[in-house]
Amino acid sequence: MAFSIDHDKAHVVEPPAEAPSAELGEHIVQVCRGCHNPQLTGGKLQGDPDMPIVANLTPHETGLKGWSEGDFVRALREGKRKDGTAINKMMPWQAYGKMSDTELKAVWAYLHTLPPREKGSK
C-alpha cells in the first residue's frame, strides 16, 4: 500500500506567519507539553519511574528565570544548560536545535508570556 501526502491541502490549524513572535512560539510549543506538562512547569513524568525530572520552562527561579534568549538557543543547539551541565539525551534537543533562529526566538518569546510557576506545579 502506497501513501502519499497532499502538500497543497490546507492544515487543520494553519501556523502563524514565520516571525519571532509569541504567537508562532505558542504554536511550536504544543509539542513540548507532552513531557513538560500543559503549564510547561516540568517535574516528574507519570508512569515511567526511569524518566528523568523534566525542566520547568516558565520564567520562575526553578525554571528559566535568569536565562537569556542566547542561553536558551545555545541549550537547544548544543545540549547544555546555562550553567554548562548537559541536557539529558531523552530531551530531543538535537532535533529542536535544528529549528530556524526565527522559530527558536519565537519559542523564547512565548515562554516569556507564561506566568512564573514553580517546577512541577499544575
pTM over 0.95: no
Per-residue pLDDT of the chain (122 residues), as tens digits, is: 677 878 888 767 788 999 999 999 999 999 999 999 999 999 988 777 888 899 999 999 999 999 999 999 999 999 999 999 999 988 999 999 999 999 999 999 999 999 999 999 88
Q: All 3 cell numbers of residue 111?
A: 515562554
Closest among 46, 27, 49 to 36, alpha carbons compared = 46
Please give the pLDDT value at position 40. Answer: 97
Please give the pLDDT value at position 7. Answer: 81
Parse the chain into domains and list their residue ranges.
22-111
Please give the pLDDT value at position 9. Answer: 80
Please give the pLDDT value at position 1. Answer: 60
* The CATH number, out of the four listed (1.10.3470, 2.60.120, 1.10.760, 3.30.420), of the domain defined by the range 22-111: 1.10.760
DSSP letter string, 52-85: PPBPP-SSSTTTTTT--HHHHHHHHHHSB-TTSP
